[in-house]
């Protein structure tokens, strides 16, 4: 799995942050005044990754300011720094340096959240749901065009000020490519893989959680994403939770087929997930078999032809079943 072209190599790169480059005021604010971004899709660090950040903040403090969005209803929402806030609280800190962004649309705020996360972690280390969310947001941003370059340049200064601007010639060449190909090139993915991730981003949160845990394989998730009815997705997630069902590629294909033919009722979902509708039907044909060589050798000679042997076996079977029918077998 490829990584983004631009990312922080390690936490020490944050030392290069220069306030005057951001053209924003840096203040200190208590964590109690900050709110996480609504429906934040990126999982907080756990395990060793979290412990490393906790130890770094314990020794050096918060080196890179938290980026906040000051909304019109006077809320301060975290755009970049969810992990730093979490680690700092574990250290025992009550406040952190912040940079406040104002006059943002919701779409611009989402873009900052997405891009800042991409620049602070490896794309290959993200879960499937995080990758899907990132690629979907990035793709939408490319389609929007116009705002993206200015906004991303500003984000780049806030997140990674030591990196200079890109080559304008290569940018002009990139603009000739299709949007999905652009995104795919940046993350080392094929256009089809990007398309699948973007489609998977439409799944509800419980199903994405199952994708991350491996209970729904990636290609199965892609098929499920064609079930656009949220209530049907919720029913699938509910049955998986209640009965510990797992969905393989075959079940996902059947679910998609029933949905696209408008036959995906609750009872059908249960039958598919339980395996009842994906079982191989029993054949009405009698299974074929071969007579063992030892049996052939015991009752026949080498001079007898295959046709002669078949005729004798058929006559013997007819006699056997006739006697059995009369009760004399």
Q: Could you list the residue range(s) of the whole structural domain that residue 156 is in?
A: 11-197
pLDDT band per the 50, 70, 90 thresholds, residue 309: confident
- Report the pLDDT value the prediction gives residue 148, as an integer from 0 to 100: 47
Contacts of 155 (CB under 8 A, 6+ apart): 111, 112, 115, 116
Q: Are residues 36 and 184 in the same domain?
A: yes
The answer to whether residue 282 sits within a structural domain is no
Contact 120, 155 (CB under 8 A): no
Q: Are residues 132 and 217 in the same domain?
A: no
CATH label of the domain that carries residue 82: 3.90.1530.10
The answer to whether residue 5 sits within a structural domain is no
Paired tokens of 127: 């879960």
Nearest-5° angle of CA 249, CA 125, CA 13? 160
Q: Which of 144-148, 167-171, 188-192 has the lowest mean pLDDT?
A: 167-171
pLDDT band per the 50, 70, 90 thresholds, residue 21: very low
- Report the pLDDT value the prediction gives residue 284, as an integer from 0 to 100: 63
CB contact burial 188-201 (16+ within 10 A = b; e otherwise): ebebebbbbbbbbb
- Report the pLDDT value the prediction gives residue 179, as an integer from 0 to 100: 66
pLDDT digits (tens, 9 = 90+) for 241-264: 999 999 999 999 999 999 999 999
Q: Are residues 39 and 177 in the same domain?
A: yes
How far apart are the C-alpha atoms of 117 and 296, rounded to whole Å?
A: 74
The answer to whether residue 285 sits within a structural domain is no
Q: Are residues 25 and 55 in the same domain?
A: yes
pLDDT digits (tens, 9 = 90+) for 63-105: 889 999 999 999 999 998 899 999 999 999 999 999 998 888 8
pLDDT band per the 50, 70, 90 thresholds, residue 276: confident
CB contact burial 66-96 (16+ within 10 A = b; e otherwise): bbbbeeeeeebbbbbbbbbbbbbeeeebebb
The answer to whether residue 286 sits within a structural domain is no
Q: What is the DSSP string of 11-39?
A: GGGGGG--HHHHTS-EEEEEGGGEEPPTT
Residue 69's DSSP bridge partners are 77, 101
The answer to whether residue 279 sits within a structural domain is no
pLDDT band per the 50, 70, 90 thresholds, residue 51: very high
Q: Are residues 268 and 209 in the same domain?
A: yes
Q: At what angle do helices 230-243 and 205-213 cross, to 10 degrees?
A: 50
Q: Are residues 110 and 128 in the same domain?
A: yes
How far apart are the C-alpha atoms of 254 and 263, rounded to whole Å?
A: 11
Between these two residues, 69 and 286, which has the higher pLDDT value? 69
If one counts the domains in the chain, the total is 3
Q: Are residues 27 and 69 in the same domain?
A: yes
Residue 95's DSSP bridge partners are 30
Decide which of 197, 212, 247 is a domain's last residue: 197
Q: If DSSP codes are grouped into helix, strand and coil, which group holds residue 283? A: coil
The answer to whether residue 135 sits within a structural domain is yes
pLDDT digits (tens, 9 = 90+) for 163-177: 444 443 344 334 445
- Report the pLDDT value the prediction gives residue 8, as an integer from 0 to 100: 32
pLDDT digits (tens, 9 = 90+) for 217-230: 999 999 999 999 99
Q: Are residues 21 and 156 in the same domain?
A: yes
The answer to whether residue 288 sits within a structural domain is no
The answer to whether residue 280 sits within a structural domain is no
Contact 85, 29 (CB under 8 A): no
Decide which of 174, 197, 220 is a domain's last residue: 197
Q: Are residues 28 and 102 in the same domain?
A: yes
Decide which of 141, 170, 197 is a domain's last residue: 197
Q: At residue 204, does pLDDT exceed 90?
A: yes
């Amino acid at each position: 799995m490829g990584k983004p072209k631009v990312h922080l190599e390690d936490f020490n790169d944050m030392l290069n942050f220069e306030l005057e480059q951001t053209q924003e005021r840096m203040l200190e604010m208590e964590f109690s005044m900050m709110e996480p971004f609504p429906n934040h899709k990126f999982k907080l660090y756990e395990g060793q990754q979290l412990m490393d950040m906790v130890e770094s903040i314990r020794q050096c403090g918060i080196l890179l300011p938290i980026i906040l969005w000051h909304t019109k209803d006077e809320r301060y929402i975290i755009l970049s720094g969810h992990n730093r806030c979490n680690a700092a609280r574990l250290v025992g800190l009550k406040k952190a340096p912040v940079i406040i962004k104002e006059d943002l649309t919701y779409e611009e705020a989402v873009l900052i959240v997405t891009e800042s996360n991409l620049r602070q972690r490896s794309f290959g280390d993200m879960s499937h749901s995080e990758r899907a969310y990132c690629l979907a947001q990035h793709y939408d941003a490319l389609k929007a065009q116009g705002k993206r370059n200015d906004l991303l340049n500003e984000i780049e200064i806030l997140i990674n000020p030591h990196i200079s601007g890109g080559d304008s010639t290569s940018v002009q060449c990139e603009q000739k490519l299709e949007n999905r190909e652009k995104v795919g090139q940046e993350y080392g993915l094929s256009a089809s893989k990007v398309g699948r991730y973007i489609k998977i981003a439409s799944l509800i949160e419980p199903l994405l959680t199952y994708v991350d845990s491996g209970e729904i394989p990636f290609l199965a998730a892609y098929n499920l994403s064609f079930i656009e009815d949220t209530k049907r997705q919720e029913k699938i997630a509910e049955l998986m939770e209640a009965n510990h069902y797992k969905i393989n590629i075959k079940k996902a294909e059947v679910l998609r087929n029933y949905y696209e033919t408008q036959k995906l009722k609750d009872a059908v979902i249960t039958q598919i997930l339980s395996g009842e509708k994906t079982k191989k039907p029993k054949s009405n044909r009698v299974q074929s078999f071969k007579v063992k060589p030892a049996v052939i050798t015991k009752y026949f000679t080498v001079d007898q032809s295959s046709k002669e042997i078949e005729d004798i076996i058929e006559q013997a079977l007819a006699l056997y079943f006739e006697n059995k029918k009369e009760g004399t077998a």
